[in-house]
Structure 1
Amino acid sequence: MDKRARWIGGGAVAAVAAAGVAAWWFNRSEQPRHTLIQRDGAVEVRDYPAALVAQTVQSGLRQTALSKGFERLADYIFARSRMGERIAMTAPVLSDGAGEAGWRTRFFIPRGESA
């Protein structure tokens, strides 16, 4: 096997490991109450009641902007960019377009917490 084939194989192993960690985290994280509207395989359309969220909007290319938004919100909930206690991570993390402003990333604030 040549070096390139080994690297691709290693990347696949890393991707599978990352997916496993993401699934573990998602299943252990608080999820806000919601009503399932429709499911198509792994994709769900959900209706959420009014909820408290932390959000940020970043400009630029989609993936870069969403990564920056996730990092900014992680710094917020883990109290790295503000005073106070950590806030528990929740799932799912929402992301969408924010029109001309860029890309929006949102974390639900757990029930009983205030921002």
Structure 2
Amino acid sequence: MTRGERLAEQLDWHWRTNLRPRLDGLADEEYFWEPVRGCWSLRPRGTSAAPMSGGSGEWTMDFASPVPVPAPVTTIAWQLAHIIVSCLGYRVGWYFGGQDGAVPRRM
């Protein structure tokens, strides 16, 4: 088994056994729920009040650089986007060349 196949198998296992079962049945209201004012989330482009927002589609992700102390509370939507884009996306680019062989920039 190649390193890439092993990694894909591990990611698939974690998705099927740990993450996906916890997301089944989650409604948009829960996914985007902001328990306090000033939460970071995913938002339609142009609607963020965060210091910065990033993304190339209709939705953007709230963030700031440097991250404020204390860090803002984040929604489930933000946490998943952070893991998928900022963590996994960066590593895919680093280890497998990403799109056009480039290492993606962090948001």
* TM-score where L is the length of structure 2: 0.30
Which of the two has higher C-alpha Rg?
A: 1
| Bigger share in helix | 2
Q: Higher relative contact order by CA 8 Å / sep ≥ 6: 1 or 2?
A: 1
| Bigger share in strand | 1
